[in-house]
Copies of this chain bind each other. A is one copy, B any other.
Amino acid sequence: MPELRQNIITRDWVIIATERSKRPDQFARSRPHPIVPAYQDHCPFCLGNEDRTPDEFYRLSDLTGWRVRAVPNKFPALAATGERIRKVEGIHRSMTAVGFHEVIIEHPRHDITTALMDVVDVENILKVYRQRYIKIMQDPRIEAIVIFKNHGEGAGTSLEHPHSQLAATPVVPFQVRARIEEAIRYFDDTGECVFCSTLKDELSSRDRLIYESEYFVAFIPFAALSPFHIWIFPRHHASSFHEITDLEIFDLAVMLKTVLAKLYFGLNNPDFNYSIRSIPLHDRPTDYFHWYIAIVPRVSIPAGFELGSGMYINSAIPEESAKYLREIQIPLDSP
């Protein structure tokens, strides 16, 4: 009998379709990835081609040169200059799309990915995320910041060079607002943060854990939307990513590299997206909202059912997906 599960954080129902469930390894990528060189002449993100990006906002360097750069997106979805102007004309609500849309170039090399980087490289990326977040949150026009990564063509990127993005919007997305309302309601009813309750539950059942570090826990949600949908929660309650300390950044670098390496070796380098979700900027840090990272490998395609209902069909059993990833060993000769 298939099972419906409700995500207590999002209130979304998911169908865990046991009748059509596959073995975890059946979700591994079968198409080979193209082999790419360490440097590409025409790549604007490669070492030596720095003049091909718009003027950079920030760079993190060591003795060897730059390690991570933050630059404007060449085709920004949000304009850096201008005022927030709301228009309401009849039933049309619109607004100038002011904000920031940045690219974080994760590494000087073209042919590397987070799963195979040194921990210090991942640490550098996270430090740049935090630096940009803290800088941008000073801008009073900005209401929400989302940091995200698209890896592979199936995940919506055409650029091979490892990079992530930051989008800072002048509105709070409706979905974020709805989730905050649910989190407040849960807090009213229980006196607890719904994310902290979820974490406590995952640590006690251990059925869906993937990896634990000193400050973070990675697990498959009870009502995962898709196979290998992963959440990484900080153990200590904090509402926004920018509150992360240096010590936590080092720990998160190990965590993120480990989880992405488990996907890389367990599912043959799947296309994936990740995003970092925080409380909107005009809310103060609160007891009821908790920042976290969501990772979604693109191993299934949301289709007409999802379009028509907002519900998902997951053809993998979360406990089995988690066990599979928990047991994936990262090869010793991997960096």
Contact = CB atoms under 8 A, between A and B. Distances in A.
Nearest to A295: B307
A36 interface: no
A19 interface: yes
B167 A20 contact: no
Given A3-B94, A91-B197, A94-B5, A174 B76 contact: no
Contacts of A147: 308
Q: Say which size band chain A's interface belongs to.
A: 35 or more
A79 B150 CA distance: 36
A1 B96 contact: yes
Contact of A201 (B2, B77, B90, B276): B90
Interface string A20-53: 1000000000000000000000000000000000
Interface of A: 1-6, 8, 10-13, 15-17, 19-20, 75-79, 82, 90-98, 144, 146-150, 154-157, 164-165, 167, 169-171, 173-176, 178, 194, 197-198, 201, 222, 273-277, 294, 296, 301-305, 307-311, 313
12 contacts: A5-B92, A19-B77, A19-B79, A20-B75, A77-B313, A148-B303, A173-B310, A174-B311, A175-B309, A273-B307, A276-B308, A296-B307
